[in-house]
Amino acid sequence: MPRLLLGCFAVFVMALLAPARGGAQTEPIRIGVIQQLSGPVAASGNYVRMGAEIARDWINVRGGVNGRKLALVVEDNKSDPKEAASAAEKLIVRDQVPVLMGAWGSSMTLAAMPKLEEYGVPMVVETSSAASITRRGNPWVFRISPPSEMEALGLEKYLPALGVKQADFMAVNTDWGRGAVAAFGDVLKRRGAGVGAVEYMDQAATDMSAQITKIKGSGGDTLFLTTSVEQITLVLKQAQEQRVARTIVTTGGSSSPSQLVKQAGAAAENTYHIVFFMPWFPEAMPDPRLAKAFVDEWTKRGHPFEGLTEGFRGHDGIATIAAAIRLAGRDEPKAIRDALWQVRLMGLNGPIKFEKDGPAGRESGQSRPGIFLVQIKGGQAALPAFLRK
């Protein structure tokens, strides 16, 4: 080909490529989100989605990340581990997202994790608490929620004030529930308290009267309850019907005391709840201004107040991802994964910074979240008397 024609051909090709290249730099950065938008714990997943949308909008109104807007691509895991794995693959292969947030339940997150390694895409875990998520050895996993062991250690200092001498357990029969029983049981034993009855329930179960009957006869003084807010409501009502006299403590941060007040009424009175965000007391959070702004924005959008104890997770997850992309300078999976180790961010829950957890050379990232305790008193969420000062 003559040089003149070759030169013209090169200019023609560059002219064709230039608009596409420029367009790619202005396209939104797509973030994959896996949540349970249907199934027995759909309310929680939708609240996380709502919080993620607030973070996206706040970031976009400030100019986005590296000059580009954020877009959320949301997949429903239907509260099913197989669906969670399928959702992860769809988002990575079909939608070509460079990073994910998910997947609420520990069983769903564990099911999705092999896809992260297979395709080399990082995921920020916003809710799941099974210890195996970070200890299994997956260098593409970064968790901002506390594992059950961390949560139990956070409660340990309050055990004397709660007067726990012998505790019973009721938990959903999933990785989350079984992990919580093991973690809190270990802490109780170390503090000299006894562990009595341990009862499990299916995630979709609505009649827990048989398990409650066994708990009632155990002779314990405290019941640790680990499941979704929908099932907690049923347990509290059924325990009241059987006149079970126990100090009840819910774990996992998903109890939503405001929702329990609405749904369980007097059956929720005097119960204690471990939470990771206190929307009733934004002034007591690590960044009061951020907490109040989030509560105000949530309310302005007409979202139910009781969803705030889940919604904050979505905000902190997307804010963490945005911070990593900003540090990476591009929306490329490995660059984002490497940048997540450098993230230093103040979230609604508190400071977000990842430490290594898991086998050497294959560590996952684990942040150290804030852990708080509230009580339902007089039909509303309150700080326990021993914490008010």
124-137 pLDDT tens trace: 999 999 999 999 99
Check residue 387 and give its pLDDT: 86
The whole-number average pLDDT for the span 211-223 is 95
List, in sequence order, every beta strand (DSSP E) within 23-147: 29-35, 70-76, 100-101, 123-125, 141-143
Residue at 376: amino acid letter? I
In the chain, ranges of CATH 3.40.50.2300 domains: 25-146+287-366, 150-275
Check residue 389 and give its pLDDT: 60
pLDDT of residue 56 exceeding 70? yes
pLDDT of residue 29 exceeding 80? yes
Check residue 255 and give its pLDDT: 80
Of 32-36, 99-103, 300-304, 384-388, the range with the lowest mean pLDDT is 384-388
256-285 pLDDT tens trace: 899 999 999 999 999 999 999 999 999 999
Check residue 11 and give its pLDDT: 36
Q: What confidence category does residue 23 fall into, taking pLDDT thresholds of 50, 70 and 90?
A: very low
Tokens of 73: 């691509």
Backbone angles phi, psi at 272, to 5 degrees: -110, 150
Check residue 32 and give its pLDDT: 98
Q: Give how far the C-alpha of residue 261 lies from the chain's centroid of Cα atoms, to the nearest Å.
A: 22
Other C-beta atoms closer than 10 Å to the C-beta of 342 total 12
8 Å CB contact between 177 and 171:
yes
Check residue 7 and give its pLDDT: 42
> What would the CATH number be for the domain defined by 25-146+287-366?
3.40.50.2300
Write the DSSP assignment of 200-213 as a string of letters: EE-TT----HHHHH
195-213 pLDDT tens trace: 999 999 998 999 999 999 9
Domain 150-275 in this protein, CATH class? alpha beta
* Percent of the chain clearing pLDDT 90 (strictly above): 87
pLDDT of residue 151 exceeding 90? yes
Query: Among 62, 94, 92, which Cα is nearest to 113's?
Result: 92
72-94 pLDDT tens trace: 999 999 999 999 999 999 999 99
pLDDT of residue 13 exceeding 60? no
305-327 pLDDT tens trace: 999 999 999 999 999 999 999 99
Check residue 39 and give its pLDDT: 86
Give the whole-angstrom CA distance, residue 73 versus residue 318: 12
pLDDT of residue 41 exceeding 90? no
- The DSSP letter of residue 126 is S
Residue at 119: amino acid letter? Y
The burial of 382, by beta-carbon neighbours within 10 Å (0-12 exposed, 13-18 middle, 19 or more buried), is given as middle
Token pair 């019973």: residue: 168
Q: What confidence category does residue 12 fall into, taking pLDDT thresholds of 50, 70 and 90?
A: very low
Token pair 């990340």: residue: 65
8 Å CB contact between 172 and 129:
no
